[in-house]
Amino acid sequence: MTHLWVRAEQRPNEERVGLTPEGAADLIAAGMKVTVEESDQRAIPLDGYRQAGCATAPAASWPDAPDDAIIFGLKELPEDGTPLPHRHIMFGHAFKGQHSGQALLKRFQAGGGTLYDLEYLVDEDGRRVAAFGYWAGYAGAAVSLKSWATQQRGGICPPVGTYGGKDALLADLARDLEGLRTPSAIIIGALGRVGTGAADLCTAMGLTPTLWDQAETEGGGPFPEILAHDMFLNCIFARPGTPVFVPRAALDAPRELTVIGDVACDPDSDYNPMPVYDAATDWAAPARRVHDAPPMDVMAIDNLPSLLPVESSQDFASLLLPSLRGLGHLEAGVWGRARATFDTAMKGL
């Protein structure tokens, strides 16, 4: 019997989950066993999972799960260096040259486990089967806009927290922007799910963003148009061949640009297209000032969808559920392709 073990997220401010009670009931009806760890921060209460027929376990007990259990979470594991013998489903951030990812892969090497990276669950055409992209773009644009509004008043973005829903988020932003001019914004990656979410937030707040995608950037830069906007929202993931959108030289150049929202947020990659910063920001300090006169603030939170944890969890879980139904056949389909990606990365250690 396939056993899916949904772990409690151990990262602060991470309230999302990749499986809803309705999805768990679907898997159980198909013959799977589902165990859900207790959590004091998950946006979806445990009672719903109990009612769906799930077994429960204490938070962070996954290291002691049965050997055949498939451990399912979203964000990173505690960086304690322990070997990882289980099969894990999560966002590992380990296959694109990220330096911290090498340490994770070595833990799998030591324990004999396997990483099925959620970012690399793809269909036959290479398209991801599930992503938080839309809500990442939506929330990322919101925090970037909040950063711009605070900057206009002489400050830097204050701490952020979760919202009960997007209406509460929009109302909060309206208060931030009251009395200020409407800023200009440019979105790169505007045709994707991330860019669509960012554009929808901008439109909801009365902005008319400039929408760029691959056609506008294939020349490789430089891109003075980016510097002519108040805000730049990066909505493409860095990969080999990604051009530099904002070089370090731009900090001292004439520019209108004072806020970068790196929604893709991959500063640890060798392909970072905004080398004006090198570390993610967080909920306590959402924006980092990388230049003073004129100011440049960078927003680079790497779990943005968790600002809207219920909506983002429901959306992602509905997209992922068809693949979870195939967990009994890990050698095939999306799981087989993800395993091949992992095996290739392990050979490079």
| Catalytic member of 86, 88, 93, 229 | 93
Neighbours of 127 (CB within 10 A): 8
What does each C-alpha distance from 158 to 68, 94, 221, 237, 349 come to in angstroms? 44, 30, 33, 26, 40
Question: What radius of gyration do the chain's Cα atoms show?
Answer: 21
Alpha-carbon span 252 to 160, nearest angstrom: 29
- Buried-exposed string 81-99: b where 16+ CB fall within 10 A, e elsewhere: eeebbbbbbbbbbbbbebe
Contact 105, 97 (CB under 8 A): no
Alpha-carbon span 95 to 268, nearest angstrom: 12
Alpha-carbon span 135 to 150, nearest angstrom: 22
Task: List the one residue out of 294, 293, 288 whose CA is nearest residue 261.
Answer: 288
| Catalytic member of 3, 75, 106, 291 | 75
Alpha-carbon span 31 to 178, nearest angstrom: 54
Alpha-carbon span 176 to 164, nearest angstrom: 18
H-state helical runs in the chain: 21-29, 46-52, 99-111, 133-152, 166-177, 193-204, 214-217, 224-227, 309-324, 333-347
- Told to judge if 75 belongs to the known catalytic residues of this protein, a careful annotator would answer yes
Alpha-carbon span 166 to 341, nearest angstrom: 36
Alpha-carbon span 35 to 39, nearest angstrom: 13
Query: Residues with catalytic annotation?
Result: 75, 93
